[in-house]
Amino acid sequence: MVNFLARQLGFMLLTLFVVSLTVFVLNEATPGSAARKVLGEFATPEQVELLTRKLGLDRPLLVRYGEWIGNALQGDFGESLRYREPVLQVLGTHLVNTCRLAAISFALIVPFSMILGIAAGIREGSARDRAISIFSSIVASIPEFALAVFLAFPFVYLLGWLPATAPLSDGGGWSVAQQLVLPVLVIVLFDSGYVILMVRASTADVMQQPYIRTAILKGLPFAKVVRRHVIRNAMITPITILLLQINYLITGLVVVEAVFAYPGFGRMMLEAALNKDIALLQAGALVAVLVAVITQMLGDLVYRLLDPRIRVA
């Protein structure tokens, strides 16, 4: 276990270094300077050159990268050109908003996916199985922006029960809870479709195992067989997949946050990229990679706990 954690830590540090350097290089290669983005298209070349020197963007790439690494190790990620605030403050605000949305969505995705997936898998080939599989395939195949439109039409435009956007402000008379309903619903439906199919396939596979047939033939109640023997063995693969969904819920909600004007991490990264906010992009990329590596590590650990064969190997 110690060797496993040491390898994962080394991999994480190497990945963070490669990603940070890659983001710097890609920003250097993209057309248009950061100074031009800040000043606008009507700024004179002299003004652009002056701001470029002021920001230190006229220095060699590796010099600026080394300086950034040194400051980052001290907790200073610079100032955001887009938000005119320290990068850490901008990241903290948007990450808190995204984590709120992710926590609510994850708390709904897990029971919803497991209940429907197990219900379909224990009765493979039945009408219930076909209905759940069709529903899951449909919601998993609809893009997030289209799903948002489909849900907004009845609840926003026809019934007027919910707001069309979620800026997390009190404007318009809508509470924060009401603003969160549609984004959460889109995320839960889109993400659950794939997870339900995985749980269903894993459960159906376990139901075909000899020890399940033996338990049923011995006269054990079917509900007891499912509760004691099916669920734990069927959850080995889906649980790791559910943990990996945390990465998507924190760093991959760009479309949902953009559609609903939600001030989250994904929308922040989109605006930083459009405005060539290098400092914010760099720090945001490191956060995204860190979340991805940590969730991958958690998935591997849970897999080892659920499947003793992995620990023995």
- Same domain? 69 vs 100: no
Is residue 83 assigned to a domain? Answer: no
In 3-state terms, what secondary structure has residue 15? helix
pLDDT tens, position by position, 39-71: 666 667 777 777 777 766 667 777 777 777 787
| 122 vs 36, residue with greater confidence | 122
Is residue 251 assigned to a domain? Answer: yes
Is residue 175 assigned to a domain? Answer: yes
Domain count, the chain: 2
Interior angle at CA 40, CA 38 and CA 42, nearest 5? 145
Q: What is the pLDDT of residue 4?
A: 65
DSSP 49: H
Is residue 35 assigned to a domain? Answer: yes
| Inter-residue contact 265 to 284 (CB < 8 Å) | yes
Residue 161, judged by CB atoms within 10 A of its CB (0-12, 13-18, 19+), counts as exposed
Interior angle at CA 186, CA 182 and CA 190, nearest 5? 170
Residue range 224-250: mean pLDDT, rounded: 80
Residue range 242-267: mean pLDDT, rounded: 86
Residue range 162-178: mean pLDDT, rounded: 80
Range of 13's domain?
A: 2-73
| pLDDT level of residue 236 (50, 70, 90 thresholds) | confident
Q: Has this prediction a pTM greater than 0.85?
A: no
User: What are the backbone dihedrals phi and psi of residue 308, each rounded to the nearest 5 degrees, phi first?
Assistant: -60, -25
Q: What is the pLDDT of residue 183?
A: 92
69 contact partners, CB below 8 Å, separation of at least 6? 20
- Same domain? 36 vs 68: yes
Is residue 88 assigned to a domain? Answer: no
Interior angle at CA 243, CA 311 and CA 77, nearest 5? 110
Q: What is the pLDDT of residue 312?
A: 46
- Same domain? 147 vs 178: yes
| pLDDT level of residue 242 (50, 70, 90 thresholds) | confident
| 289 vs 303, residue with greater confidence | 289
Identity of the amino acid at 35? A
Q: What is the pLDDT of residue 131?
A: 92
Question: Is the pLDDT at 8 greater than 80, yes or no?
Answer: no
Share of the chain above pLDDT 70, in %: 88
Q: What is the pLDDT of residue 252?
A: 82
Angle in degrees, 0-180, between the axes of helices 2-29 and 61-73, rounded to the nearest 10: 140
pLDDT tens, position by position, 255-283: 888 888 899 898 888 888 887 777 788 88
Mean pLDDT of the chain: 81
DSSP 229-251: IIHHHHTHHHHHHHHHHHHHHHH
- Same domain? 306 vs 200: yes
Q: What is the pLDDT of residue 32?
A: 56
- Same domain? 111 vs 230: yes
User: What are the backbone dihedrals phi and psi of residue 198, each rounded to the nearest 5 degrees, phi first?
Assistant: -70, -45
- Same domain? 153 vs 214: yes
| 213 vs 48, residue with greater confidence | 213
- Same domain? 132 vs 43: no
Residue range 177-185: mean pLDDT, rounded: 90
| pLDDT level of residue 104 (50, 70, 90 thresholds) | very high
- Same domain? 115 vs 57: no
| 16 vs 34, residue with greater confidence | 16
- Same domain? 121 vs 231: yes
Question: Is the pLDDT at 174 greater than 50, yes or no?
Answer: yes
Residue range 21-44: mean pLDDT, rounded: 66
- Same domain? 212 vs 292: yes
Is residue 87 assigned to a domain? Answer: no
Is residue 89 assigned to a domain? Answer: no
- Same domain? 31 vs 141: no
- Same domain? 289 vs 178: yes
Is residue 79 assigned to a domain? Answer: no
| 293 vs 26, residue with greater confidence | 293
Give the CATH number for residue 170: 1.10.3720.10
